[in-house]
Structure 1
Amino acid sequence: MKNVLKHFVMVLSSVLIIAGGASAASAEEKLVVSTWGGSFRDLIDESIAKKFTAETGVKVEYVTGGTMDRLNQAKLAAGKPESDITFTTAHVGWLYANDNLFEKLDLAKIPNAAHLVEQARISPYHIGAWAYVYTIGYLPDQLPKGVSFDSWEGLWNPALKGMISSPDFDPSHVIAVAAKLSGADAAHWEAGKDKLKALKPNYKAFYTNDANSQQMFATGETPVQVVLSMNAYYMRDQGVPIKLVIPKEGAVLGVDTMGITKGTAKADLVYKFLNIALDPAVQAQIANLKKGSPVVDNAKLPPEVAALPGVFTTPDQWAHQTLIIDHKLRAEKTAEWRKWFAENMMAP
């Protein structure tokens, strides 16, 4: 009996050693995500990564930086990638794809992708993680009498002379709007050049980032902005009484996306991460935290979040409240647009 017991203890000890070794190996394994820093890094960590680590035991680490800085670094690191997954904007994701920096996605390995809305199916290489809009935000108590924003045309009201701002790093929003109001689209943006120049007197400044946008609103320097919806809701939560509107032409849609970094050796884990990112409960959590739109059609949002302008939860909203700039076109035209805008709109 003693020999049998001794043998059992030895076998059990071996099992525990093997299991312990496997746990240690899992704990040492990591998945590296390239993303923006600050609140967006925290958003991914709190919603997607937390669930991923709980289910796999694999830790998530981050490489952070600006959108274009990370693209340039990825080009330098081609063949020996620093990350396994890359978060970037939809149009810059096309630049990654064009430079062969993304793996082609196998959506069969992402079951939750069956619920992706059409507007989040960006390319064979990258898909949406969440969505937002750039639209008109304003401080009601500083809006001149008679000004309204039922249409984007309201930005051109002479009463707004020296009162508005928009981002200096991406003029595509107002370029697309001016083209639309001129009877064209972003592909034929030149049709809106005169319309854009007519807006110049209404500009007070151009903001360089979200923090700068917040400062200009908080001080009242530019009480009307073409603003990122998620940033506007953050400011509102901080006590800045911003009102956001969706003009009849639609708000300019933005989609932040996920792609598999070319050369990753952890494809199975990456697909697990992407599937968790599209889990309806995770998508609802992201919407609650950032006040953006879920990119799957089965996420259930609290009524007060679903009711916010720029948060889309129905096919009708996606179809009729968005003004979409073709993402591939935007990638191709960004440099040209920035150059023209700097020379014709931002220069004194």
Structure 2
Amino acid sequence: MKKLDRRTFVKLGAAGIAAPAIIGRASSVSAQDAFKGEGLIVVSWSGNYELKFKDAVVDAFNAKYGTKVETVGGWDQMVPQIKAAPADNPPFDITVSDEYTALTGLAENLFVKTDRSKMPGFAHVYPWFDENRPAGKDYGVPFGGGTIWMLANKSAGIPVNTWTSLWDPKAQGKITLDATVFAWDLCIPAILDKGKPGIEELYGKPEEVRKLYDELDKLKVARWYADGAELANLMFQEDAEVAMAYSTDVYDFLTKHGDQFDAAVPAEGTATYCDWYIKVRGTHHSDLADLFQSYLLEQETQQNFLNVSSAFMSRDDLKAPAHFPGYPKSNDDYHKMFNVLTMEGWAKFVENWDQYDQWIKQTITKTTQG
């Protein structure tokens, strides 16, 4: 992530007049003038998500308020970067957080609680978001979330409406899966296993989790990908024709190459992470951060982002996009469709990380032989 200089807090009014008379105001009209020229650094997910977040959210916010908000991409480095910086001068002001980022950041006291009274958009947020982050719901705003999808080249003749297609004999030797954050691969056999609800098999003892690896070992994988760029290369070159793909990448496959690819959230449901945007401790731009967080909950903001992505959003009053068939329309739909890899679940999973990391290396070797 690029290193950016921090600007001091914007001075308002004549010298000697206290800023709080304007900062923290409830009036959106005064807010449109109060923050002109002020900067804010927001971390969003690297890659396609970051580009769409800039176009659909950040640029519109800057146009409305005359601010200089920037977004920079990140994946798993945000917590270490905050820890490495002085407590009163963080490297960014707001960060996106999945459940793992929230778990590790809260353990280090790196985040600031959110004053929901400043953010009327919470009235339209599905309760599902709080229900799936009980230990972290006081920190940040739920913008939406991401999922894993089935993606296939139409020429492969593999249905994308069920995860069982990965074990279809026609798919063998044509599959690609994620070699980096392999917990999501393990979620697929967990969803198909009806022994426990959702993906709870992932949170069990190592001997229980081992059964999920055994299911992956039955696959014949063309190649395991390291990131979205490699996934796209494999699919377009037809080195692989069937994939577990993230929602951050699926949108372009469907909207730009829909004649070549099919993609769907399978009928059995999917594994999910939620995107909460959290204020970082020590920020010099606390009030602007509050304004930006509130903006993330506005209907127009979320609809604009939903229209150009395959994410799901937190508001309950959005129009489902054509490129997301079966988009959830109620809190019950969210529960049926999405299985969150929770903060508590990550805490249990990482207890045996070294063992699981060793096993996935063996699985990669085994499934790509011959």
Q: Which interval holds the TM-score relative to the shorter structure?
A: 0.7 to 0.9
> Of 211, 220, 224, which aligns to 2:242?
224
**Distance in structure 2 (CA, Å) of the matches to 1:342 and 1:129:** 32
Distance 1:139 1:177, change over 3 A: same
- Give secondary structure in 2 for the equivalent of 1:226: strand
Residue 187 (1) aligns with residue 196 (2): no
Partner of 1:250: 269
- Residue 43 of structure 2 contacts residue 74 of structure 2 at CA under 8 Å; is this kept in 1? no
The alpha-carbon deviation at position 108 of structure 1 amounts to 1.7
**Distance in structure 2 (CA, Å) of the matches to 1:310 and 1:212:** 28
Pairing of 1:81-160 with structure 2 (within 5 A) = 81-121=90-130, 122=133, 123=136, 124-143=138-157, 148=159, 150-160=161-171
Q: CA offsets per residue over residues 182-219 of structure 1, 9 Å max, x none?
A: 31322126425234324333222111111111111111
> Of 275, 295, 310, which aligns to 2:314?
295
**Distance in structure 1 (CA, Å) of the matches to 2:187 and 2:33:** 53
**Distance in structure 2 (CA, Å) of the matches to 1:164 and 1:38:** 22
- Residue 57 of structure 2 contacts residue 304 of structure 2 at CA under 8 Å; is this kept in 1? no
Residue 72 (1) aligns with residue 93 (2): no
Larger Rg over CA atoms = 1
**Distance in structure 2 (CA, Å) of the matches to 1:189 and 1:117:** 32
**Distance in structure 1 (CA, Å) of the matches to 2:50 and 2:161:** 35
Q: CA offsets per residue over residues 279-306 of structure 1, 9 Å max, x none?
A: 011100000111321211122345x24x
Distance 1:48 1:326, change over 3 A: same
Partner of 2:9: none
> Of 299, 315, 334, which aligns to 1:318?
334
Pairing of 1:41-56 with structure 2 (within 5 A) = 41-56=50-65
Is there any run of 5+ residues in structure 1 with no aligned partner, and where? 1-16
Distance 1:157 1:26, change over 3 A: closer
- Give secondary structure in 1 for the equivalent of 2:177: strand
- Residue 170 of structure 1 contacts residue 338 of structure 1 at CA under 8 Å; is this kept in 2? no
Partner of 1:197: 214
- Give secondary structure in 2 for the equivalent of 1:253: strand
- Give secondary structure in 1 for the equivalent of 2:307: helix
**Distance in structure 2 (CA, Å) of the matches to 1:337 and 1:135:** 27
- Residue 140 of structure 2 contacts residue 293 of structure 2 at CA under 8 Å; is this kept in 1? no
Partner of 2:278: 259
**Distance in structure 2 (CA, Å) of the matches to 1:245 and 1:268:** 40
Partner of 1:276: 295
- Give secondary structure in 2 for the equivalent of 1:81: coil
**Distance in structure 2 (CA, Å) of the matches to 1:231 and 1:276:** 25
**Distance in structure 1 (CA, Å) of the matches to 2:161 and 2:58:** 40
Q: CA offsets per residue over residues 90-133 of structure 1, 9 Å max, x none?
A: 32222112211111222222211222123333322233222232
Deviates more, 1:282-291 or 1:234-243: 234-243
The amino acid across from 2:152 in the alignment is: Y
**Distance in structure 1 (CA, Å) of the matches to 2:355 and 2:313:** 29
Percent identity between the two aligned chains: 20
- Give secondary structure in 2 for the equivalent of 1:313: coil
The alpha-carbon deviation at position 37 of structure 1 amounts to 4.3
The alpha-carbon deviation at position 263 of structure 1 amounts to 1.3
Residue 161 (1) aligns with residue 172 (2): yes
Q: CA offsets per residue over residues 111-163 of structure 1, 9 Å max, x none?
A: 112221233333222332222320211112113xxx54554233223342222
Is there any run of 5+ residues in structure 2 with no aligned partner, and where? 1-12, 15-21, 23-31
Pairing of 1:229-240 with structure 2 (within 5 A) = 229-239=247-257
> Of 199, 209, 218, which aligns to 2:227?
209
- Give secondary structure in 2 for the equivalent of 1:347: helix
The amino acid across from 2:125 in the alignment is: L
The amino acid across from 1:194 in the alignment is: K
The alpha-carbon deviation at position 249 of structure 1 amounts to 2.3
**Distance in structure 1 (CA, Å) of the matches to 2:274 and 2:55:** 20
- Residue 164 of structure 1 contacts residue 202 of structure 1 at CA under 8 Å; is this kept in 2? yes
- Residue 112 of structure 2 contacts residue 279 of structure 2 at CA under 8 Å; is this kept in 1? yes
Higher-helix-fraction structure: 1
**Distance in structure 2 (CA, Å) of the matches to 1:315 and 1:95:** 28
**Distance in structure 2 (CA, Å) of the matches to 1:48 and 1:331:** 32
- Residue 178 of structure 1 contacts residue 192 of structure 1 at CA under 8 Å; is this kept in 2? no
- Paired residues, number: 324
The alpha-carbon deviation at position 337 of structure 1 amounts to 7.3
